[in-house]
Each structure stands twice: as C-alpha cells, then as structure tokens.
Structure 1
Amino acid sequence: MYVCVCNAIRESDLRRVAKRTDGSAEVAYAALGKRPNCGSCLDDAEDIIREERQGACQPAYSG
C-alpha cells in the first residue's frame, strides 16, 4: 500500500527504513532520498514507523 502518493513511498519502505533510522517521518523520508511534499501522509507514516520500532523492541515469544 502506498503511504505517500507524492513520493511513491510504500508501507514496506517505511517499515524497512524505520529499523535503521531514529526520528520522525521526515528523517525516514530523507533516508529514502525523499522529502514530504503535501504532508497529508505524515500522520500515517509516523504511526507505521512507531509501530515498526515498537515491534522491533519486543522480545520474541518463546512459550
């Protein structure tokens, strides 16, 4: 699914870059060589990035 239509950034792109960057959606976009254009995607992008980073911090279930 495209999160940012202006930059053709997919959800999978954001999830991948969230694991190797710190900071906001703008930082993640910069890591992809992009920058926000209209800005309507930023709230959704932040949610996806936060979700991915929280999931990366969760220990694997071993039970």
Structure 2
Amino acid sequence: MYVCICNAVTDKQIRQAIDDGASTMRDLYKQFGIANNCGKCACMARDLLQEHRQNPPNAYPVVASLSASAGI
C-alpha cells in the first residue's frame, strides 16, 4: 500500500529500508523524502519504524536454523 502518495513510496519500500538499516524518520526522509511535502505519511512511517523496533527480525537466523536442525 502507498504510505507516501506525494513521493509514491510503499510500505514494502519502507520495510525494506528498515531491514537495510534505516532506523529513524530522518533516515526515511533522506532515502524517500518521507514527510517532506504534505506530511500525511509521517504517522504511518513512524508506525512502521515502531513495529520493527517491537518485532525485530531474527538477528541470528543461521544460528537458529543450525540449532533447530541439531535438535538443540
């Protein structure tokens, strides 16, 4: 879904940027121009950042995978 209509930025693009290391609104602004024009996208972008902070991806997927296959 489009988060920022002004700059045609989708939630998938923002999620990918967050996965790639974006962690602040400033990072999203620099990469996409989020909240640069009308500002209506700022709340949704903040929500996506907060969601990532609360539910970070598994930081060690290889270790988890090895542990699971080893029966640990």
Mark the runs of 5 or more structure 1 residues left unpaired by the alignment: none
Distance 1:29 1:48, change over 3 A: same
Q: Which has the higher contact order (CA 8 A, sep 6+)?
A: 1
Structure 1 residue runs of 4+, over 2 Å off?
Answer: 57-60
Q: Is contact 2:23–2:49 with CA below 8 Å preserved after alignment? A: no
Q: Which structure: greater helix fraction? A: 2
Q: How many residues align?
A: 60
The percent of aligned pairs where both chains have the same amino acid is: 31
Name the TM-score, length of structure 1 as normaliser: 0.71
CA RMSD in angstroms, aligned pairs only: 2.4
Residues 3-60 of structure 1: CA deviation (Å, up to 9, x unaligned):
0000000000111111212222x3213123x342110110111001211233225678
